[in-house]
Structure 1
């Protein structure tokens, strides 16, 4: 009986030792030990890596450092400082020159007004060569005036001293571009010979048929013709539905002009829907109607453009696209 109770007591003691709480405590203790071991291993690895990096840093001897410093000094001594400075100054001067050649609008308008006034002083039968000479004479005088203004030699001028340098550069070095900007164009001397080699009885080409009402005899209509003259109505902003309307506008202008005003006696119309070619800088569109005045009207072009002209103007068509007329009093 006692043995049985002792045996039971032994079994109950072991049961208490292997209880659930003790088992949990043992597992947690093992996990803590493992975690501490892992953290120790990571710390050791980082320390070794950092130590190896510090050991791999290149260290130069004083002699090597001295030689490197000497090399840098030699390279600086042989650097083309003056050349670099000169290139920078040239670039700066070039940029400044580009800016100065862009004339203000009021100077361009002044130039255009003075050139027109110079051309008006010519005789009515002055040809393109005389017109070019007059313009060149004006440019020479204006350039001299601008240079004298910059030196303070003269003080009374239509140009301010501050703008004289800009004007002098433009007139001397960039005259061709300036001429285009202000729309100055003087036609070349062209000897036009008309040849009527069309077979007798052959109908007119379709391109020679003008849209709109038939023009009256007083319009003196000439197909494929471009007359020059002083513009009394700017065609870029003066459009008419037909050549008839353009001629009528010229007749009305001459009828209503004041005594001191120029009377229209030349009309030039663009009948082509594709626009009309002209050697100036503008894009001339369909229905442009130019009203002009000239005591002795002169032809710019008639019929076909000359071969020499088409060689220098590749975009020019074979035939003159304009239609014109000279109204005689």
Structure 2
């Protein structure tokens, strides 16, 4: 044999080399990248402006957005935020009694504000108040549980 190593002595040694394998892998990667770029740019017009709406559809979309915005209880949300800032801004994070009185005060203010609202807003507000009171009770229970665990 010529001075070839034993691992290159087979019949395939003359056809496949590292150089040829590298060139084949690079060519395959190039073709794959070209295919992906081609499919990406073909889908671009569909994404950018393929769904053109006529004036009736645009008017329908605009009206539905206006209705959605009109249904939001903006005044109620603003008033609840004001009441929360008043109630929690003055008292801060004081003792549990002050938290309870703040919650009761907030509840009373919300009841006074309810007079001008519709039934669904009142129900949602009542559910929010119940959840808020339940969270306050849970915090009190957790606080008492951790303080009793520390004294043992």
Query: Is the structural similarity TM-score above 0.5?
Result: no
Structure with bigger gyration radius: 1
Which is strand-richer, 1 or 2? 1
TM-score (norm 1): 0.20
Which is helix-richer, 1 or 2? 2
TM-score (norm 2): 0.36
